[in-house]
Amino acid sequence: MKNIAVIGAGTMGNGIAHTFAQCGFKVQLIDVSEKSLKNGMATISKNLDRMVAKEKISEDDKYETLANITTYNNIKEGVQYASLVVEAATENTELKLSIFKELDNVCPEDTILATNTSSISITQIASVTNRPELVIGMHFMNPVPIMKLVEIIRGYNTSDEVTGLIMTLSKKLGKIPVEVNDYPGFVANRILMPMINESIETLYNGVAGVHEIDTVMKLGMAHPMGPLQLADFIGLDVCLSILNVMYEGFKNPKYAPCPLLVNMVNAGKYGVKSGEGFYDYSENRKAEKISKQFN
């Protein structure tokens, strides 16, 4: 399994591509947007520069990693030799189903199809293909090159062989794979998102302010980052999508997203990527908000 195709050049996609390429795999990074591909490659190069500066890798390692990545804006061309495809598109059910239908049509019949979804049913995604036994979840954590965990989610029809292969492959990436079953939110987000949502509810109900809530969780629970700051880094739109998937999947009101979260997303306040969420990340405020409050 040497040729790996990654669908999506955003935060998760370029991180996954970086990780595979640094471990010696040939990576085909695919995105319909040429701009996204350029930005993704620039991010990978910048992250490699940081690793060189910290003497974690050499300059030669950096160039070898970049040489292992080829970019495509056409799925059919990018996946034609892939042993494994890892889809890392936006957390949107209809989009993922559409991508997997196309992948099933254009990939070699023995290609394993993985999704980096953080909440959507693997069984549902597999159902639109003619190879459900070859469909599996690989939920990487952000930032991918640094975080060790990979949730391995087997769908209802995922074969034991494919699960074993992906567990072994994850270890070759220097990751620690944990196998979980296919239920909304899996393990990581089933536990994390209600905590983030409750933190937003606490703010919404006026119990305490943003800084106060995050400080309590950091100092009292030894969390490296407060839940509201973490939500900003994940993306409030992503948090909302995951909560909606969980709410629809379980029909349990405890997963219903807080109205404040819904309003912030509707207002375009997504967190770090939009420049504002629970904190202000605009260039002139970043140092003040992050350095003073979290260092």
Catalytic residue numbers, as ranges = 118, 139, 151, 189
CB-based contact 29:72 (threshold 8 Å):
yes
Residue 74 neighbours by CB distance under 10 Å: 10
Q: Which residues contact 43 (CB under 8 A, 6 or more apart)?
A: 11, 14
Please name the helix (run of DSSP H) or strand (run of DSSP E) that holds residue 156, with its range, or none.
none
DSSP 288: I
Q: Strand 112-115 to strand 135-140: parallel, antiparallel, or no bridges (unpaired)? A: parallel
H or E element: which one contains 4?
Answer: strand 3-7
Q: For residue 29, what are the β-bridge partners?
A: 6, 71
**10 Å Cβ neighbour count for 134?**
24
Up-side HSE of residue 203: CA atoms within 13 Å toward CB? 22
Q: Is 9 annotated as a binding residue?
A: yes
Any known ligand binding at 280? no
62 is in an annotated binding site: no
96 is in an annotated binding site: yes
91 among annotated binding-site residues: yes
Question: Are 1 and 84 in contact, with CB atoms under 8 Å apart?
Answer: yes
Nearest to 214 by CA among 204, 201, 199: 199
Tell whether residue 182 is among the known ligand binding residues. Answer: no
70 annotated ligand-binding residue? no
* Interaxial angle between packed helices 259-266 and 236-250, expressed in degrees from 0 to 180 and rounded to the nearest 10: 130
Contact 47, 18 (CB under 8 A): yes
The answer to whether the annotation marks 34 as part of a ligand binding site is no
The annotation status of 174 as a binding-site residue, yes or no, is no
Name the residue among 53, 116, 52, 58 with its Cα closest to residue 84: 116
Distance CA 154, CA 114 (A): 10
| Residue 78 annotated in ligand binding | no
Residue ranges at the known binding site: 8-13, 31, 91, 96, 118, 142, 273
Residue ranges at the known binding site for NAD(+): 8-13, 31, 91, 96, 118, 142, 273
